Structure formats: C-alpha cells, structure tokens
Amino acid sequence: MKPILAAALLLPVLAGGAPVVPANDFPTVARVEYVLECMNNHGGKQETLYQCACVIDRVGAQLAYDDYVTMSAALRYQTLEGPRGAEFRDPPGVKTMAAKYKAIQAEAAKACMLR
C-alpha cells in the first residue's frame, strides 16, 4: 500500500473521530470472515459461533464498516516489520486508533461472554 493511500484511509478517523455510524453496514462476507477467524482463534469449536457473531454485531453497532476496516488493519499490522509495516506503525494516531479498536473488540467479547 502506498503511503499516500494509507494516509488517505486513516485521515477520516484521525481528523474528527468517529462519524455518525450507520447501523448494520457491514457486508455479510465481512461478518462471516470475522466469525470464522474468531472461531479459529478460540479453538475452532462450534460453541463459539454465536459468541463470535455477537462480537462482530456489537463491533458493527459501534463502527461504520470503513472505520472498522481501517482500525482493524491498524491493529493487525502494528507488528509488521520493515518499511511495509511503517505505514501502520509510524503515522500519528495509528497506535491510538489500534488501541481504540482493541478496546471496542474486548468490550464486545466480554459482553458476549467470549474468553
């Protein structure tokens, strides 16, 4: 990803915080991908299906999809090394954005009784 593109993706979130969030604007495929990854991260057990679905529903209620994509990428790629990772580590506010997403996700997991 080019630095200008990364900055353009991060700018709306960094500029004024979270905008008014439209309810349920996450595409079905994004929700399914999240649930499958969540289930895999929690032992791959069927029992976690509802809990993981609950988490993404709660995250979706707090964030617009575009903000979710930006914030979750910021968190996911914080540990990426080298120049490619610099786009996710170095711009001002990226760590704050990643921490905010992590807190939203943790709060949702707690509410959904996902360990």
What pLDDT, in 10s, does the model give residues 31-77? 999 999 999 999 999 889 999 999 999 999 999 999 999 999 888 88
The pair of structure tokens assigned to 106 is 């943790």
Q: Check residue 18 and report its DSSP letter.
A: -
Q: Report the C-alpha gap between 47 and 64 in whole angstroms.
A: 27
Residue 35, Cβ density class (10 Å: 0-12 exposed, 13-18 middle, ≥19 buried): buried
Checking if the pLDDT of 15 tops 80, the result is: no
Q: Please give the distance of CA 1 from its chain centroid, rounded to a whole number.
A: 18
